[in-house]
Amino acid sequence: MKKISFWLFSWLTIPHIIAYFFSRHRAIIRKDVIRWCQCAKIQPFSGGGKYFLIALSWLLLFKKEYRNIFYLRIGKVKWLLSYLPPLSSLYIWTKSENFGAGTFIQHGFSTVITAEKIGENCWINQQVTIGYNNSKKYGYGRPTLGNNVRVSAGAKICGNITVGDNSTIGLNAVIVKDVPEGSTVIPSPMILIQEFGQKMHRKF
C-alpha cells in the first residue's frame, strides 16, 4: 500500500528535492538519508547511490521525524514547504551545523532537543529532553553529545555537560554530569514499597 501511495504522491516532494539541490548542507542531508534508511531498514534505499533521490522522497512522505531534520537543514525556505508538516511534538533548537549528520530519531513524540552540539550518527528516542540547566550547582548551559551516542526513551540530559562518544543513556535516566566515552548509564533501580498489601522496601 505504501508503494502505491508513494508513486501517487511523490510529486509532492519535488519542491523539497529542488531545495536540497540548492542547500549548502547537501552533503549532510545525503548522510542523513543513508543513515535513516539503514536504521529504519528501508530497502533498497539504504545504500544510497542511484536510489538517493527516491529515498529522500520516501522519507519526506512517510517519516515526519525526518521532515523536522530536513527543514532544519534547508533553513528559511522550509516555510514554503511545510504543506508536508513536520512532527509537531518534536522540537529541535540546535543549529544545523551543530546537529550531527546521520542523527536518527526513531520516535520523536514529545521530544525536545536544544543541545549545544550533537555528534554524528546519534540515535534519539521518544520523550527525550536534551536542554538547558539553570542550576548553580551543575552549571548553566546546554549539553554536548559525542558521536554514536544513543539516548533511550524518556531520558533527560541537562546542563553544560558532555556525553562521550559511543555512550548509551538508558530508559528514563537523568544526566546532569559528564559521561565518559564508551559508557552506559541507567537510572537507579525501582523500589517496591508494598506487596500484597504489606509495606516493604526492596529493589524491584
Residue 105 has pLDDT above 80, yes or no: yes
Residue 143 has pLDDT above 70, yes or no: yes
The tens digit of pLDDT for each residue in 150-174 reads 999 999 999 999 999 999 999 999 9
> In Å, what is the CA distance from 148 to each residue of 38, 122, 177?
14, 5, 19
* Preceding peptide of 15 cis, ω within 30°: no
Which cell is 92 given?
Answer: 529541535
Average pLDDT over residues 110-124: 97
CB 99 within 8 A of CB 118: yes
Q: What is the pLDDT of residue 49?
A: 61
CB 193 within 8 A of CB 147: no
Average pLDDT over residues 125-135: 91
First to last CA, the chain: 44
Pairing outcome for strands 144-145 and 198-203: unpaired
Residue 126 to residue 139: CA distance in whole angstroms: 26
Residue 69 has pLDDT above 70, yes or no: yes
Higher-pLDDT residue of 82 and 190 is 82
Q: What is the pLDDT of residue 46?
A: 56
Amino acid at 202: R
Residue 135 has pLDDT above 80, yes or no: no
Residue 181 to residue 137: CA distance in whole angstroms: 23
Residue 117 has pLDDT above 90, yes or no: yes
Amino acid at 71: Y
Which cell is 101 given?
Answer: 549528520
Residue 139 has pLDDT above 90, yes or no: no
Residue 1 has pLDDT above 90, yes or no: no
Mean pLDDT rounded to a whole number for the chain: 91
The tens digit of pLDDT for each residue in 12-45 reads 999 999 999 999 999 999 999 999 999 988 876 6
Average pLDDT over residues 54-62: 95
